[in-house]
Amino acid sequence: MELWGTVVIEGLLVGGRLALFAAGFTILFGGLRMPFIAYGQVILLGAYGIWTAHAAFGVNYFISAVIAALVIAPLLWGTERLLFRRLYIHPFPVIIYLILTIGLTQVLSNLFELIYTVDPHTLFTDYLYDRVRLFGIVNTNIAALISIVITFAALFSVAILVSFTRFGRALRAIVQDRETAMLMGVDIIKLSRNAFFLAASLGVLGCMLIGLIFGFVQAAAPLFMPPYLIDLFIYVFLFLVLLVKPEGLFTR
């Protein structure tokens, strides 16, 4: 029982993060028609920002995250303003976005390597790794519990935002019919700018059902097969999902 409890916790951790990243990428590609190749570098920017704030000021993890967010936000605003904003109303922006984000990926990757080198950087906070026992059967740590709570609170908030707010309705409208949405008075530039920052925030913070299933499979697979077959099993599973439901699980 304890083994399965550990598997569930690990699946929620990995799957929740994948769901966050997938939600952000879906907003970018579905709403803005932006194949944002540099999304992984935005995630790295957040990670390195937290590590740098911790190394520079010696403060705890959560204050480091706040400092990193305050520093990264203007950088993201400048990138969006200089590179992408003029393309929001372009009739065929996909290729231009693709070229820009590939270039941005190369620039950021080389900057990270130049500044941080390729050596691993670890941020360890002792109290976050204190062990706790849930329901008398699952032995985990405080960091895992905090991560799960923050992740699913963010996913729930995004679901509410997209489903029930004016911003969400406008975003879904431009996904379904961009030109008609513009004729109905939707401010494409403002909406796209806000969607960009929402997606970037999800990436920095670290589709939903696919992510959860994917994470659970990754965590549970070692119980049923040799470790060298885990990656193969995960990608076969992903291929089958895309083959059966390429339009998404909850499309109408």
Quick check: 10 pLDDT over 80? no
pLDDT of res. 211: 47
Main-chain phi, psi angles of 90, to 5 degrees: -70, 135
**Mean of all residue pLDDT scores within the chain:** 78
Question: 206-217: per-residue pLDDT in tens?
Answer: 644 454 455 555
Answer for the pair 17, 204: CB distance below 8 angstroms, yes or no: no
- At 13, list the tokens: 């951790």
Quick check: 107 pLDDT over 80? yes
- At 35, list the tokens: 């194949």
Main-chain phi, psi angles of 119, to 5 degrees: -75, 145
Distance CA 251, CA 164 (A): 17
Q: What is the average pLDDT across 48-74?
A: 84
Tell me what percent of the chain is helix, strand and coil, each rounded to the nearest 5: 80, 5, 20
Q: What is the average pLDDT across 83-89?
A: 86
Angle between helices 188-205 and 61-79 in degrees, nearest 10: 150
Residue bearing the bigger pLDDT, 199 or 203: 199
pLDDT of res. 129: 63
Report in angstroms the alpha-carbon separations of 178 from 167, 171, 186, 191, 201: 14, 9, 9, 12, 24
pLDDT of res. 127: 62
Tell me the pLDDT band of 9, cut-offs 50, 70 and 90. confident
Tell me the pLDDT band of 102, cut-offs 50, 70 and 90. very high
Quick check: 40 pLDDT over 70? yes
* Stated pTM of the model: 0.74
Main-chain phi, psi angles of 132, to 5 degrees: -130, 155
Distance of CA 217 to the CA centre of its chain: 19
Distance of CA 234 to the CA centre of its chain: 19
Distance CA 163, CA 173 (A): 12
Answer for the pair 223, 60: CB distance below 8 angstroms, yes or no: no
Quick check: 188 pLDDT over 90? no
* Strand residue runs (E) in 74-146: 131-134, 138-141
Question: 17-29: per-residue pLDDT in tens?
Answer: 777 877 888 888 8
According to DSSP H, which parts of 123-207 are helical? 142-164, 166-176, 178-183, 188-205
Quick check: 123 pLDDT over 60? yes
pLDDT of res. 106: 93
Domain ranges for the chain: 2-244
pLDDT of res. 251: 55
Quick check: 41 pLDDT over 50? yes
